[in-house]
Every structure is written in structure tokens, then in C-alpha cells.
Structure 1
Amino acid sequence: MRIANLLKVPVLAVLAALTFGCASTGDMQALKDMHAQDMQDAMAVANEAKASADEARATAAEALRVANEANQRSMATEEKINRMFQRSMMK
């Protein structure tokens, strides 16, 4: 009698797994479609982020160029002022 009771548990577990645990082909296709859509959405977001990063990089490069140009002008002006000061001190 005890062996019969012990056999009921695995049989019930297998029946429950077959009834509730197995996904049908339609369920699998729905999951694949949902996953594919999520991947497309993620790729679209990644592409937008890359475009924004590229734009930010271009803006930073332009800002660096302008800053370097301003620095060169500042150094040239400082050099001119120093020369004028030296001339005025010699008079």
C-alpha cells in the first residue's frame, strides 16, 4: 500500500507539469515575437543614443577648436602687450 502511495506523487507531478508547465507552439511563437519586438526597440534606443553621442562629440570638438583659437589669440595679445610695456619702459 505504501508503494502505491509513493508512485502517486511522481505521476501527479508529471501530469501537472504536462498540463500546466508546457508551453504550446503558439505560446513559444508569441514569446519569440515579443522578444524580437523588444530587441528592435532596444536597437532603436541604442541608435538614438549613438546619434546623440556623435552629435555631442562633434559639438565638443568644435568647442575645443574655438577654445584653442581663443587661447592663441590671448597669447598673441599678451605678447603684444608685453612688447608695448617693454618699449614704454625703455623711453
Structure 2
Amino acid sequence: MSMSRVEIKKEIKIKRRRLKFVLLLIFILQILGLLLVDNALREILALDGAKVLGYEIKDKYISIDFMGKTNYIARGKIDYTYEIIQNKYEKIIEKFNNFLKY
């Protein structure tokens, strides 16, 4: 029994969705495996250098480790950016509420 054009497109769409899900799952498993191996080797060899992926919060800065490189971000910059985002968010919510009133 042959399928109609619509049924064929539905099947293709379902297969694409499954493929995307499987690829995403494989990617997540690879990242988790990489992190587990990195942590195990660091524990066995007693290494304290930059990690594959990690972060550390200090009083004046936040250090972000990615692929063996450590980047430092000042807490002041983060707080300033957070305030800007929070103010803009509040303005957007206020405008949205005013729009809903009318």
C-alpha cells in the first residue's frame, strides 16, 4: 500500500526530529564523558590547573575555565551589567502592562 504525499512528509518530519534528538543526546553524553574523565584525571594526578569546563567565585572576581584557559571577570562588571539588564527588564514589563491596560 503506497503512502500519500502528506503521509510521506509526516514520516520525514518525524525521522528528522528523532535524528536531531539522537544527535543532541550524543553531544550531551560526549560533554558529560569529557567532564567525568577530566575530573577523574585531576583527582588521580592531583592537578590544580585550569579545567576543561568550570568556574570559581571569589570576592572580587569570577574565574571561568574553558578548554584549559582561565578567564577572569571582575564582579563589579557583572553587578553593573546585571543592574542594566534588570532595569531594562522592568521597563519592558511596565510597557507591556501599560499596553494590556489599554
Scaled by the length of structure 1, the TM-score of the pair is 0.49
Larger radius of gyration: 1
Scaled by the length of structure 2, the TM-score of the pair is 0.44
With a CA cutoff of 8 Å and minimum separation of 6, indicate the structure with the bigger relative contact order: 2
The structure richer in strand per residue is: 2
